[in-house]
Amino acid sequence: MYKMVGLLLWICSCLFSTETLFYAVPDRDFAKELIERIETESSSVFLACPRLTDGRLVSALLRAHRRGVRVEVLVDAVSVTKKHHLSRLAEQGAYVFVWQPHHKEHMHHAFCVFGGSTAWMGPAALGRAHSLHRDHVLVVQDRLLAIRCLEEFERMKQLRSIELALYATK
């Protein structure tokens, strides 16, 4: 199985992208890698994840927003608790949306798009401070893949999402 994944990554790298990285979680600190990417991004960061409870990640997004980077975040309603960090982002003018599920449906997307050309996919624990689960992160610099992720981000915003400020007043 791992040989097939490696072969697929190699083919994608050769044909479509200039960068393809695979991180195994928890062997590597994916949060540190993600924060470093946010810190160096100069145009936009679109983040979709079920739970955004890692204060370090929220702080990095806030710093990016203050540098003039367009920051948009889409989270599941479980992220909005009494102790959530998201209000800091929204109060500073970053776009924060809350997925409004039907019944007991939850959002399981975990991806981030940097500058419209790099897609970061996974892990399932994206946005949380710690994860002990075996998982992975795939980072691909590919404009087509990034556009597909952005299309899904926009579709989810339009389909059943609400701005955090409006959600908080419900």
List the CATH number of the domain containing 26. 3.30.870.10
Q: Is residue 132 part of a domain?
A: yes
Mean pLDDT (the chain) is 81
Confidence at residue 4, expressed as pLDDT on a 0 to 100 scale: 52
Distance CA 167, CA 77 (A): 9
Calculate the CA 153 to chain-centre distance: 10
**Does residue 90 fall inside a structural domain?**
yes
Give the CA diameter of the chain.
50
Asked whether residue 41 is assigned to any structural domain, the reply reads yes
Quick one: DSSP state of residue 146?
A: H
Cβ–Cβ under 8 Å, residues 49 and 20:
no
In a domain, 142, yes or no: yes
For residue range 48-73, list pLDDT tens digits in order: 988 888 888 999 999 999 999 999 99
Indicate whether 7 belongs to any domain.
no
- Residue 119's domain comprises 18-168
Domain count, the chain: 1
Q: pLDDT digits over 80-134, tens only?
A: 775 667 888 888 999 999 888 776 777 788 899 999 899 999 876 676 655 566 7
